[in-house]
Amino acid sequence: MSVMRSHFALQDGSEMEAPFYLHDFRKYRMWENFFLVKQLISYINLMVTPVPEEIIWCYGIWQHAYEEIASKVLFSEGLPKIESDDGKCCLVIVDDLMTEADKTLTDLFTKACHHKNISVIHIVQNLFGKNKEQRTLSLNSHYLVIFKNPRDMSQISYLARQMYPGNSRYVEEAYKDATKSPHGYLLLDLKQSTPDNLRLRTSIFPSDPVQTVYLPTKQ
């Protein structure tokens, strides 16, 4: 594995392309997911194109940490009903406490994200859920954000074999390097329009000194 480090540059195509579906996976300490999404909201004008006109945070149980972003988002207890088709660019964030709404969330993704200008961030504790709805969401994700999970490497290994069946160690080693710091994470960019040399990244925010891009070692 070789690592290329460069300053965060929008002209490199590293911004997120809306509409999208992002899976934010962290097995433990869910506040780390909140911190990452809060960072994305802070830099939304630089990191997402087109910029969402509205951000909705859907929760199951109110958390005091939500007050930190109250001025920037609308809060919804449970999933909102997205009935309007006015073309407004919208970002919907769904936390992991809403397992009872799997079918509704799948509909939100397949209908709203695909046919309306709506992006979805789903904060989860299991990358590959056991039921059909969770599996559908995972397999159709445009972006995956994966934090360190020392107790279970099987999920990243399975994902690596799916993405690069002939070179799964590329993803596994990138993941290990990206998560070697206490709060490290790996972003997997699965958008069809993304250049292959920008698929695996970490330190993605403008506040980071450099953005790290992982490239496979030439055989």
Q: Measure CA 67 to chain center.
A: 22
Is the per-residue pLDDT at 29 higher than 70? no
Q: What's the confidence (pLDDT) of residue 129? A: 60
pLDDT at 5: 44
Domain count, the chain: 1
Q: How far apart are CA 188 and CA 171, in angstroms?
A: 9
Predicted local confidence at residue 101, as pLDDT: 52
pLDDT in tens, 31-86: 567 888 999 999 999 999 999 999 999 988 888 999 999 999 999 988 877 665 66
Phi, psi of 188 (to 5 degrees): -110, 115
So what's the pLDDT on residue 3? 44
Closest residue by Cα to residue 136 from 160, 112, 103: 103
CA-nearest of 114, 121, 124 to 149 is: 124
> How far, in Å, CA of 105 to CA of 15, rounded?
25
| Per-residue pLDDT tens over the stretch 75-118 | 998 887 766 566 788 999 988 655 555 667 777 666 666 667 88
SS (H, E, C) the chain: CEEEEECCCHHHCCCEECCCEEEEECCCCCHHHHHHHHHHHHCHHHHEECCCCEEEEEECCCCHHHHHHCCCCEEEECCCCCCCCCCCCEEEEECCCCHHHHHHHHHHHHHHHHHCCEEEEEEECCCCCCCHHHHHHHHCCCEEEEECCCCCCHHHHHHHHHHCCCCHHHHHHHHHHHCCCCCCEEEEECCCCCCHHHCEEECCCCCCCCEEEEECCCC
In angstroms, the CA 146 to CA 33 distance is 9
CATH number for 62: 3.40.50
Q: Which domain holds residue 34?
A: 2-215
